Amino acid sequence: MDVWGFNQYTVAQVLGFIAFFFSIAAFATTKDKRFRVFLTVACLLLALQYGLLFAYVAAANLVINAFRALWSINHSGHKWFWAFFITQSIISVIVYKSPIDLLPWFASAISCYALFFLSGIQLRIAMLLCTVVWLINSSLVGSYGAIFNDVFNITVTLSTIYRLKLAKSNNAASSSP
């Protein structure tokens, strides 16, 4: 099937690489709000990519993840976590085809918890775990842009965690007598 004069597979891979750049911006920032905004765009682009690759559970979870990331800017707590978690679980069950479909659901559950309950370093550590699960899924599905994205995000997230820890220790040192 052709999309814009290109075969569907090529368009899917291009979308994955475009998402990669938004993901870089998300995972490199130390600002939680900016992280969520860039993550929203990256998730929507990756949802399109996975849809074109017929990985519908991944696509569905990423659409929900995008809205959840945006929603979590101004909302937190148990009520919103459960609303998004249950929605993702129901949609995942509806479009489930094989055991591989459990990976995007699990990654989304981790990030759902992280976005509604965590911030700073804890948020980044949870997102690191989430990214490892997405990397496994991306590898099994054959999403080259997402594989590249996930490997890079793991590296950038580790760097961001280090920068946050460094800033925290510098703040502690400057505030002590």
Q: State residue 28's pLDDT score.
A: 87
Q: State residue 140's pLDDT score.
A: 95
Q: State residue 18's pLDDT score.
A: 94
Q: State residue 51's pLDDT score.
A: 95
Q: Where are the domains of the chain?
A: 2-175
Query: What is the C-alpha to C-alpha distance for residues 1 and 23, in angstroms, rounded to an integer?
Result: 28
Query: What is the C-alpha to C-alpha distance for residues 94 and 86, in angstroms, rounded to an integer?
Result: 12
Query: What is the C-alpha to C-alpha distance for residues 90 and 69, in angstroms, rounded to an integer?
Result: 19
What is the dihedral sign for C-alpha 126, 128, 47, 96?
A: negative
- Spatial contact of 121 and 165, defined as CB atoms under 8 Å apart: yes
The count of residues in the chain is 177
The dihedral formed by the CA atoms of 101, 119, 70 and 98, expressed in degrees to the nearest 10: 0
Per-residue pLDDT of the chain (177 residues; tens, 9 = 90+): 566 678 999 999 999 989 999 999 998 898 999 999 999 999 999 999 999 999 999 999 999 999 999 999 999 899 999 999 999 999 999 999 999 999 999 999 999 999 999 999 999 999 999 999 999 999 999 888 889 889 999 999 999 999 999 998 888 877 766
